[in-house]
């Protein structure tokens, strides 16, 4: 039975708990439709808006105790996992599909020597005006960057995933055909010390963690879901060009030419490359709406060896 790792983009979750509850119903329909193709499934997801919202809530609560960032990661992983697990279970029951679904609080090992800790790049939280971002930065010391013309967002370190602490449990559940929600938000970042694992303030890119997960599970397919049906050259320009089936070598040439933005498509491309090179599998990049058809060869960008 084929194993598929699904990396859910932010458009599958929304920016608030209420919006997320609504959106995950559609997401669950897609996940269950994929499950009915007789494949094993592990699902990862992002948490940029959610972890930023949780962290800001504690920062703004003047009477409260500051909440460490790894704990904010864990909170976001827990409540997103709960929403997804519930929605998928409801859809499985509605369609009379006999499969279990569960979310696992997942730690992912990173290195303190990762250069990401010297140069934070991962946007989290809400979009702010330049003036508001400058005010918050003066009050808190947070760093902000302009994000895709939509406003300013706080940035935190985004180190590379090295190891998934709970991978043996994930493997066991996936092998038993459970739909497993794991490496949520890229996983809770931890470092390994002589006293064991310890949390560290960062957000791991979920596509990179899903690629690591797909490698560890020897998955045949890594399905990266985003807001567009395909990857484009010259995106949003009059002469934009959709990319279909590509080799790793072709994709690398486009990366070298600077075609993909660091804050949006580039991490997905780099995650896809790392997975394909490690496993010889296929990486598919498409929208949530196209996911089911993309697995059958429909509209998508497909990267192979």
Whole-angstrom distance, CA of residue 142 vs CA of residue 60 = 13
Considering the chain, what is the average pLDDT of its residues?
A: 91
> Can you tell me the mean pLDDT for 228-255?
95
Single out the catalytic residue among 10, 44, 184, 281: 10
Q: Is 148 exposed, middle or buried (0-12, 13-18, 19+ CB in 10 A)?
A: exposed
Single out the catalytic residue among 40, 122, 171, 212: 122
Distances from the Cα of 172 to the Cα of 46, 52, 91, 107, 175, angstroms: 23, 32, 23, 17, 5
pLDDT at 88 over 90: yes
Task: Print burial letters for 227-249: b (CB count within 10 Å at least 16), e (below 16).
Answer: ebbbbbeeeeeeeeeebeebebe
Single out the catalytic residue among 11, 15, 90, 100: 11
> Can you tell me the mean pLDDT for 52-77?
75
CA dihedral of residues 249, 254, 255, 257 (deg, nearest 10): 130
Quick check: 161 and 137 in contact, CB under 8 A? no
Single out the catalytic residue among 9, 185, 186, 206: 206
Write phi, then psi, for 181 (nearest 5 degrees): -100, 115
Question: Is there a catalytic annotation at residue 89?
Answer: no
CB atoms within 10 A of CB 126: 15
The H or E element containing residue 212 is: helix 206-216
Whole-angstrom distance, CA of residue 297 vs CA of residue 293 = 6
Question: Is there a catalytic annotation at residue 206?
Answer: yes
- Using 50, 70 and 90 to split pLDDT, how confident is the model at 62? low
pLDDT at 266 over 70: yes
> Can you tell me the mean pLDDT for 113-130?
86
- Using 50, 70 and 90 to split pLDDT, how confident is the model at 66? low
Bridge-based pairing of strands 152-156 and 122-128 is antiparallel
Q: What is the pLDDT, as a whole number, of residue 204?
A: 93
More confident residue, 13 or 88: 88
This prediction has a pTM of 0.90
- Using 50, 70 and 90 to split pLDDT, how confident is the model at 146? confident
pLDDT at 246 over 60: yes
Q: How many helices and strands in the chain, by DSSP H and E? A: 9, 17
Please, which residues bridge with residue 61 across strands?
A: none
- Using 50, 70 and 90 to split pLDDT, how confident is the model at 278? very high
Quick check: 265 and 255 in contact, CB under 8 A? no
Question: Is there a catalytic annotation at residue 236?
Answer: no
Single out the catalytic residue among 40, 171, 212, 268: 268
Which tokens go with 179?
Answer: 């739909």
pLDDT at 61 over 60: no
Greatest extent of the chain over all pairs of C-alpha atoms, in Å: 56
Whole-angstrom distance, CA of residue 170 vs CA of residue 42 = 8
pLDDT at 236 over 90: no
> Can you tell me the mean pLDDT for 147-167?
89
Which tokens go with 159?
Answer: 């180190």
Question: Is there a catalytic annotation at residue 44?
Answer: no
What percentage of the chain has pLDDT greater than the value 70?
97
Quick check: 185 and 206 in contact, CB under 8 A? yes
Q: What is the pLDDT, as a whole number, of residue 304?
A: 97
* Closest CA relative to residue 283, chosen from 33, 84, 7: 7
> Can you tell me the mean pLDDT for 26-42?
95
Whole-angstrom distance, CA of residue 100 vs CA of residue 111 = 34
**Weakest mean pLDDT among 66-70, 118-122, 244-248, 285-289:** 66-70
Question: Is there a catalytic annotation at residue 268?
Answer: yes
Q: What is the pLDDT, as a whole number, of residue 63?
A: 53
pLDDT at 126 over 70: yes
Q: What is the DSSP secondary structure assignment for residue 227, as one 8-state letter?
A: S
> Can you tell me the mean pLDDT for 225-231?
94
Whole-angstrom distance, CA of residue 230 vs CA of residue 56 = 34
Please, which residues bridge with residue 303 across strands?
A: 246, 283
> Can you tell me the mean pLDDT for 217-237?
95
The H or E element containing residue 32 is: helix 17-35
Q: What is the pLDDT, as a whole number, of residue 16?
A: 77
> Can you tell me the mean pLDDT for 72-79?
91
Whole-angstrom distance, CA of residue 132 vs CA of residue 146 = 12
pLDDT at 55 over 80: no
């Amino acid at each position: 039975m084929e194993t598929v790792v699904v990396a859910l983009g932010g458009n599958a979750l929304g920016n608030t708990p209420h919006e997320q509850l609504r959106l995950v119903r559609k997401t669950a329909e897609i996940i269950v439709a994929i499950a009915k193709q007789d494949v094993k499934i592990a699902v990862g997801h992002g948490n940029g808006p959610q972890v930023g919202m949780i962290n800001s809530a504690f920062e703004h609560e003047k009477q409260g105790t500051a909440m460490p960032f790894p704990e904010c990661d864990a909170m976001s992983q827990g409540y997103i996992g709960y929403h997804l697990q519930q929605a998928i279970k409801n859809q499985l029951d509605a369609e009379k599909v006999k499969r279990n679904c569960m979310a696992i609080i997942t730690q992912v090992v990173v290195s303190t020597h990762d250069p990401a800790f010297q140069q934070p790049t991962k946007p989290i939280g809400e979009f702010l005006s330049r003036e508001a971002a400058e005010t918050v930065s003066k009050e808190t010391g947070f760093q902000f960057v302009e994000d895709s013309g939509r406003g300013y967002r706080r940035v935190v370190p985004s180190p590379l995933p090295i190891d998934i602490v709970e991978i043996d449990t994930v493997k066991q559940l996936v092998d038993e055909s459970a739909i497993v929600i794991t490496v949520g938000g890229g996983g809770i970042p931890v470092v390994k010390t002589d006293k064991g694992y310890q949390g560290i303030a960062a957000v791991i890119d979920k596509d990179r963690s899903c690629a690591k997960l797909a490698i560890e599970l020897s998955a045949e397919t890594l399905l990266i879901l985003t807001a567009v049906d395909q990857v484009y050259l010259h995106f949003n320009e009059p002469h934009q060009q959709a990319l279909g089936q590509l080799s790793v070598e072709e994709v690398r040439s486009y990366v070298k030419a600077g075609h993909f933005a660091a804050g949006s498509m580039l991490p997905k491309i780099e995650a896809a490359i790392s997975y394909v090179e490690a496993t010889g599998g296929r990486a598919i990049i498409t929208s949530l709406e196209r996911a089911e058809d993309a697995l059958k060869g429909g509209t998508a960008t497909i990267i192979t060896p």
